Amino acid sequence: MLDYILRRFVYTLITIFAVATILFIIFRMLPGEPTMQVISPAMDPAVQERMREAFGLNEPVWKQYMIYMKNLATLEWGRSFVSAQEVTDILGHRFWNTILLMAAGMCMTLVLGIGMGIIMAWRRNGPVDLIGTVVGLIFQAAPPFITGLLLLMVLSYRLGMFPTGGMYAPGARPDGVLDLLMTADFWHRLVLPTLTVGMYYISTPMLIMRDSMLEVLGSDYIELARAKGLKSRVIMMRHAARNALLGVVTISGIMIGFAVGGQVVVESLFSWPGMGQLMVESAAQHDYPVAQGTFLMLAILVISLNFLTDVLYSYLDPRIKITAKGLS
Amino acid sequence: MTNDTMNRRAFLQRTGAAGAALAASTAVPAFASAGQPVESMSVLTANASFDPVRPEMGRLITQAAKGIGWDIKLAAEDYNLGIGKVFKEQDFDMFIVRWTGRANRIDPETFIRMQHHKDGAYNKWGYDNARINELSDAQQVAMVAEERQALVHEAQALLHEDAVRSPIVYPSMTNAYREDRLEGVVPMLGEGIGSFWTDINVSVKHGDGYVRTGQTSPLKNLNPVSATDSNEFKELRMIYDRLAQVDPTGKVVPWAATAINIVDDTTVDIVLRDGMKFHDGMPVTIDDVIFSFDYCTKWKAPFFISSLEKFESVSKTGANSLRIKLSAPHAPLMINFFCSFFILPQHIWKDIPEKAGIDDVLNFANENPIGSGPFKFDYWDRGKELKVSANMDHFSPPKCAGIIRVTYGSHDAMAAAIEAGECDRTRYILKPALVQDLNKINGVVGAGYASHGFYDLGYNVRRGPLADKAFRKAMDMIIPRDVIRDVIMSGYAENGGSVIAPANKFWHNSAVKSRPTNVKAARDVLAAAGYSWNDDGKLLYPG
């Protein structure tokens, strides 16, 4: 097992190295110059050169790459071209904002999605199954900017039940994440973005769970459980649902990873200062250090979640063992 | 001599006259295509996500060009990409841009010299007119305002006659605020109610006394040495004092300096106000001012270095006064420098960047800015909000408890926050249609305020028919300005004419009028210049 984990760890490092290299190349291939963002093109060419020097952009690309990789290895991710703040500080700040939003959204998605999937499979072809499938597909087809905007228009603008956005009331900055979590205002503000995220993603675990459950419910051991006279609830939850969860677990790791970086629209709509917004801002501003850091952090998150998914597999399905050669 | 020959000659003369000094190569493509259809070109604009107004203007203009038989296409691209094409590569045909009404642009230097002198930093159109070069050089060194005004007026008339570009509309600063919360907002030329004068004069009728100010673009930087963006200047000027300020009408008024005296064309005397203190309690001295000049010169502060390089020497002349000797007269210095430059506390900045562990001050984040301005820094929650509180020890203390600058994800989100009472006012432009909607809500004022900025259709005069003054004039005459003003701008604009807007009263030449939209007259101008149309109605080059 340890051998397997070590092997995976090495693979992970290689993948991260490859992603970091690709990111470096991609951002330098973008049309336009980073200095255009932070200094007016009308300024003296000598001043523009001065800015390039300050950012290290006057160095040859290969040298920039070497510095970048060295900094990456030493966790010195540099400073933003735009704000001059340390990239790690910026990422740390924005990351938790997104994590709070996504944790709520994913909790809603997974708890409701899995629950609904179980019920829909158990009551296959009934009205719950039909309505659940149709509603799930509608939610998935509706982009978050539509559902979010509708929620805002009805529940916030018209009925005034929720604030229009932000993580806290202007001027009421809490002292740290714990303090933030203790305020009722934060939870109040979290409702609409959570609903928007939840509605968009819910169909994925719900329909996968439903399909997995249907497959499992046709298995011999379920028949045997029924023959033993076990209660329906016990069969559904203990025997069917646990085995059917595997598919959801697989997709959840990837879904959560992408969800962390993919909430540009929700974050813009609800003025939520998270990673998605940062990603767009930094890429548009050619703020290489921040843009590279943001994408790299997301890549690391997805790779790590994949690894965790593999480990979880062995826990959820005792038939699967981790061997030196991998999963078997 | 045939008519064709005459037409060709007339065209040659006209393109030559469009500026005696238009580079000869710019006229060549027109002759090379004599009698041929005028080639299709494109109008470059920022895309709708950056500014919803520009692509709409572009669409109307491309549509209108069909009226003269010319096929042009709209190229709505990422703003930065477009800026790069225009300013770095000069790879564009026509370009729609908004010149915002920043305070430093009240001075005619930007709109006359920088944009039209052959060596002007913003002159990416390839325009080169000997008389304009002379006028723009002369206005730069004319230290007597009235003399300078006459030169600027002449330049405006000549630029309009040359139709070197088409100011489309002068947009108002469309802002909104909660009148049931705020009292004493002070609109300023080019800045509307987002102005510094509102910051220090506004009071809050109830609540905690803080003015919640919304903006859609996040604050990027709080380093007064490296800042170049007007968004940063709007926040930094609350924290750091400047020697002078531009007042709400656009005039220069003393601020931290009680007097800025122009002794002669190259000598400026400055007297610093007594009793000023930085937010950490240390006194503001004339040595701090001299240090700030030296420091920004040493580190080549991007926004200020071009002005500082004109300083021959700075000497202390008294306990609270100094004298600047300039290497040459420079009229724009007053607004462009004295009204922009921040006074830095020497006791803090003398150790920067070394103390911060970096090698360049441009990489200094200045996480806890200490200035002497009317507001003290509280916190900056990146991407979310900046909070500053009133400095009651200031010589002009604010009437509110402080300002909270909140970043909203979009114009719609900001408008909704104003409607819901979560935001008190906008700092910058709000979409005109939203302003109209907000104005219908009780307790909210949505309005347009005078600005000297403008939306502009710029022509690359190196290319094809755009080298021809008559052609550019015809283009100027087909722009549907009334529709753009009334529909796209929801009425919050005036039709464009001169490159200096009427709102900039002292510098604007009122004899320069907007050309009325008249497609028939435009066709007549083209016909008189030798252009013709084929059977399909396509415009043909003279010849």
CATH number at residue A165: 1.10.3720.10
State percent of chain A over pLDDT 90. 11
Give me the pLDDT at residue A166, please. Answer: 87
**A150 pLDDT tier (thresholds 50, 70, 90):** very high
| Residue B233: C-alpha distances to residues B102, B188, B375 (Å) | 10, 15, 14
Question: Do residue A277 and residue B367 have CB atoms under 8 angstroms apart?
Answer: no
| pLDDT above 60: residue B531 | yes
- Give the residue among A199, A205, A174, A204 at the shortest CA–CA distance from A104: A199
Give me the pLDDT at residue B162, please. Answer: 95
Contact B263, B320 (CB under 8 A): no
Q: Total structural domains in chain A?
A: 2
Q: Domain for residue A56, yes or no?
A: yes
Q: Up-side HSE of residue B237: CA atoms within 13 Å toward CB?
A: 26
Q: Which residue has the higher pLDDT, B400 or B365?
A: B400
Q: Which residue has the higher pLDDT, B339 or B33?
A: B339
| pLDDT above 50: residue B21 | no
Whether residues A156 and A43 share a domain: the answer is no
Whether residues A293 and A144 share a domain: the answer is yes
**A140 pLDDT tier (thresholds 50, 70, 90):** confident
pLDDT, tens digit, 9 for 90 and up, residues B463-520: 999 999 999 999 999 999 999 999 999 999 999 999 999 999 999 999 999 999 999 9
Whether residues A136 and A240 share a domain: the answer is yes
Q: Domain for residue A88, yes or no?
A: no
Bridge pairing between strands B385-390 and B375-381: antiparallel
CA torsion through residues A104, A110, A113, A115, sign: negative
Question: Do residue B422 and residue A170 have CB atoms under 8 angstroms apart?
Answer: yes
Does B10 reach chain A within 8 Å, measured CB to CB? Answer: no
Residue with tokens 């630029």: B159
- Give the residue among B410, B408, B423 at the shortest CA–CA distance from B178: B423
Q: Up-side HSE of residue A254: CA atoms within 13 Å toward CB?
A: 6
3-state secondary structure of B52: coil
Does A32 reach chain B within 8 Å, measured CB to CB? Answer: yes
Q: Which residue of B has its CA nearest to A173?
A: B381
Question: Do residue B228 and residue A165 have CB atoms under 8 angstroms apart?
Answer: no
Residue with tokens 């380093």: B223
Whether residues A232 and A103 share a domain: the answer is yes
Once rounded to an integer, what is the mean pLDDT over residues B446-451?
A: 95
CA distance B462 to B119: 15
pLDDT, tens digit, 9 for 90 and up, residues B370-424: 999 999 999 998 878 999 999 999 999 999 999 999 988 788 889 989 998 999 9
Contact B190, B103 (CB under 8 A): yes
**Residue B9 contacts by C-beta under 8 Å, 6 or more apart in sequence?**
none
Q: State ipTM.
A: 0.73
Q: Which residue of A has its CA nearest to B419?
A: A157
Whether residues A98 and A57 share a domain: the answer is no
Token code pair at residue B246: 């531009």
CA distance A146 to B151: 55
Say how many Å lie between the first and final Cα of chain B, rounded: 13
**Cα angle A106-A316-A9, degrees, rounded to a multiple of 5:** 80
Q: What is the mean pLDDT of chain A?
A: 82
Whether residues A6 and A50 share a domain: the answer is yes
Give me the pLDDT at residue B18, please. Answer: 40
Query: Which of B84, B220, B416 lies nearest to residue A83, judging by beta carbons?
Result: B220
**Residue B354 contacts by C-beta under 8 Å, 6 or more apart in sequence?**
none
Cβ neighbours of B362 in A, within 8 Å:
50-51, 54, 84
Q: In which element (H, E) is residue B167 found?
A: strand B165-171
Question: Do residue A90 and residue B382 have CB atoms under 8 angstroms apart?
Answer: yes
Cα torsion for A108, A113, A119, A123, to the nearest 10°?
Answer: 140
Q: Domain for residue A87, yes or no?
A: no
Once rounded to an integer, what is the mean pLDDT over residues A278-305?
A: 83
| pLDDT above 50: residue B237 | yes
Q: Suggest the residue from A85, A88, A278 to mutate for an interface test with chain B (most B CBs closer than 10 A).
A: A85
Among the listed ranges A223-232, B130-139, B243-252, which one has the minimum average pLDDT value?
A: A223-232
> What is the per-residue burial (b if ≥16 Cβ within 10 Å, else e) of B128-144?
bbeebbebbebbbebee
Q: Which residue has the higher pLDDT, A191 or A36?
A: A191
Token code pair at residue B421: 């009472």
Whether residues A301 and A259 share a domain: the answer is yes
Contact A40, A48 (CB under 8 A): no
> What is the per-residue burial (b if ≥16 Cβ within 10 Å, else e) of B324-336?
bebeebbbbbbbb
Question: Do residue A42 and residue B409 have CB atoms under 8 angstroms apart?
Answer: no
Question: Do residue B422 and residue A157 have CB atoms under 8 angstroms apart?
Answer: no
Burial bucket for residue A211 (CB in 10 Å: 0-12, 13-18, 19+): middle
Range of the domain at A27: 2-73
Q: Domain for residue A82, yes or no?
A: no
3-state secondary structure of A237: helix
Q: Domain for residue A246, yes or no?
A: yes
- Give the residue among A211, A225, A257, A254 at the shortest CA–CA distance from A114: A211
Question: Do residue B417 and residue A160 have CB atoms under 8 angstroms apart?
Answer: no
Q: Suggest the residue from B382, B425, B434 to mutate for an interface test with chain A (most A CBs closer than 10 A).
A: B382
Q: Domain for residue A226, yes or no?
A: yes
Residue with tokens 């400095």: B391
Contact B367, B348 (CB under 8 A): no
Once rounded to an integer, what is the mean pLDDT over residues B300-310?
A: 90
CA torsion through residues A166, A169, A172, A177, sign: negative
Token code pair at residue B240: 């750091």
Q: Suggest the residue from B47, B233, B236, B381 to mutate for an interface test with chain A (most A CBs closer than 10 A).
A: B381
Q: Domain for residue A79, yes or no?
A: no
Q: Domain for residue A80, yes or no?
A: no
Whether residues A51 and A124 share a domain: the answer is no
Query: Which of B226, B302, B306 lies nearest to residue A84, judging by beta carbons?
Result: B226
Question: Do residue B363 and residue A79 have CB atoms under 8 angstroms apart?
Answer: yes
Query: Which of B80, B367, B383 lies nearest to residue A278, judging by beta carbons?
Result: B383
Once rounded to an integer, what is the mean pLDDT over residues A209-219?
A: 87
Give me the pLDDT at residue B535, please. Answer: 93
Q: Which residue of A has its CA nearest to B415?
A: A164
Once rounded to an integer, what is the mean pLDDT over residues B225-237?
A: 89
**B6 pLDDT tier (thresholds 50, 70, 90):** very low
**Residue B243 contacts by C-beta under 8 Å, 6 or more apart in sequence?**
B254, B255, B256, B257, B260, B270, B272, B289, B338, B339, B341, B343
Whether residues A36 and A141 share a domain: the answer is no
Cβ neighbours of B363 in A, within 8 Å:
54, 79, 84
Does B220 reach chain A within 8 Å, measured CB to CB? Answer: yes
Whether residues A47 and A135 share a domain: the answer is no
Does A267 reach chain B within 8 Å, measured CB to CB? Answer: yes
Tell which of A43, A73, A103 closes a domain.
Answer: A73
The torsion angles phi and psi of B103, rounded to 5 degrees, stand at: -60, -40
Give me the pLDDT at residue B5, please. Answer: 37
Q: In which element (H, E) is residue B532 found?
A: strand B532-533
Burial bucket for residue A4 (CB in 10 Å: 0-12, 13-18, 19+): middle
Does A266 reach chain B within 8 Å, measured CB to CB? Answer: no
The torsion angles phi and psi of B351, rounded to 5 degrees, stand at: -100, 0
Cβ neighbours of A82 in B, within 8 Å:
220-221
Q: In which element (H, E) is residue B75 found?
A: strand B72-77
Query: Which of A41, A47, A152 lies nearest to residue B416, judging by beta carbons?
Result: A152
Token code pair at residue B510: 């009122």
Query: Which of A54, A170, A269 lies nearest to residue B404, judging by beta carbons?
Result: A170
What is the reported pTM?
0.81
**A43 pLDDT tier (thresholds 50, 70, 90):** low
Cβ neighbours of B228 in A, within 8 Å:
38-40, 43
Whether residues A108 and A22 share a domain: the answer is no
Among the listed ranges A228-242, B368-382, B445-459, which one has the minimum average pLDDT value?
A: A228-242
Does B386 reach chain A within 8 Å, measured CB to CB? Answer: no
Whether residues A166 and A252 share a domain: the answer is yes
Query: Which of B83, B306, B409 lies nearest to residue A36, judging by beta carbons?
Result: B83
**B139 pLDDT tier (thresholds 50, 70, 90):** very high
